[in-house]
A and B are shown apart, each in its own frame.
Chain A
């Protein structure tokens, strides 16, 4: 499938040797979205969380120490930048690495929390992320083995698709689902959003939404179903 069919017209390329970034309106929109949200995280101050108490009219304030808060905000900013990078990369290789980075940083954001329930959920999520690195890297490796290249611009110009490429795409999708924690692996993430100081933790949500949209674009380019 042509890149221009999916993402609008091809606005330009940034060639850095073998690594070629390409810009389409579709990519640029998501790139800018990720960057804007990252900037909001970097300047916001959300140390205090106000919870309504059950059975009374009082409010309950939960505070986070500044030291713990700084680490988590830094990791959230890294997560935002990795998401932005995954939006405009023109390389299955770089896309894989950035998704793996998002997975690690997501574990890091919640592991600084000092509550047993949250640590339990973070542990389960971490196990899923580790297991998911098998289909993620394995899928990328099989794409490399069956097409001979990892550059999306090159793959888009291939005239054939093989069953191996389809298998690799399914593996890649499984890996991305596990690393960013979308639908079947979603349950452990709910506990993480209940932690104090959590508003910027929504970057975990934003990254998984943007990455899955971009992953579907890449998989359509690889498999050329229409």
Chain B
């Protein structure tokens, strides 16, 4: 039997309705794409097809399906970023105008942005390290993001930013090495577990470093 005994029947019976919902969502999105006239709208509607894909994968509802969802989401994000870059670069080439990365619509000149960022981001980062793992990484990442946004009007030290992105790469390697230990030498699983958990803490926290490198031109201008 494919489905284990412990799974209640209502969970099993939800699979087919979820599949139909996903196929209908995908069909509606494809209809929308075929009706639209502008390229930007096609791009936005394509994202709905990605959501339908996530519904199908989530309908399976096992650990393996969870392992499929994460790369599916990452693939969708990577593709939508790449395609919107293509669209922007084509439009810039057509009109001959340059657009800044991360444009800020209002000029923020507040007292709190000059005094608070160091303390608040320090608190967030320390709390994130205390939590460890994915959640801790997210909290510490919010701290770094807050620092970056608050300091933006005064200019960011972009050399430090490149350092952060370097740490991000190293953390990625630690994470992978930890997983390899779990696969190849299961006896020392504790080391592998610690390596991957600290790796993902650093990785998620330094995710902003990646955006920092992307926005390098803008930091240089400041």
Contacts and interface: CB of A to CB of B under 8 A. Distances in A.
Interface stretch (B78-86, B139-147, B150-158): B78-86
A107 interface: yes
A181 to B, nearest CB: 14
A119 B2 CA distance: 47
Contacts of A103: 75, 79
Q: How many residues of B sit at the interface, in one of the four size bands?
A: 35 or more
Given A130-B46, A144-B64, A137 B72 contact: yes
Contacts of A126: 79, 82-83, 86
Contact of A137 (B56, B78, B182): B56
B86 A127 contact: no
Contacts of B182: 17
Given A93-B68, A127-B43, A141-B68, A133 B90 contact: no
B56 A130 contact: no
Contacts of A142: 19, 56, 60
A119 B49 CA distance: 22
State the majority secondary structure of interface residues on B: helix
B124 interface: no
A134 B86 contact: no
A205 B72 CA distance: 24
B94 to A, nearest CB: 6
B62 interface: yes
Interface in B1-46: 2-3, 15, 19, 22, 26, 30, 33, 39, 42-43, 46
Nearest to B2: A148
A130 B57 contact: no
B33 to A, nearest CB: 8
Contacts of B30: 131
A17 B79 contact: no
Contacts of B191: none
B214 to A, nearest CB: 14
A114 B57 CA distance: 37
Contacts of A188: none
Interface string B157-197: 00000000000000000000000001110100000000000
11 contacts: A100-B71, A104-B79, A111-B89, A114-B89, A119-B90, A126-B86, A127-B33, A130-B80, A138-B57, A141-B60, A148-B3
Given A134-B49, A134-B56, A141-B57, 20 more contacts: A17-B184, A103-B75, A104-B75, A104-B78, A104-B82, A111-B82, A116-B94, A123-B83, A127-B33, A130-B80, A133-B75, A133-B76, A134-B52, A137-B75, A140-B68, A141-B68, A145-B59, A145-B65, A147-B2, A150-B64
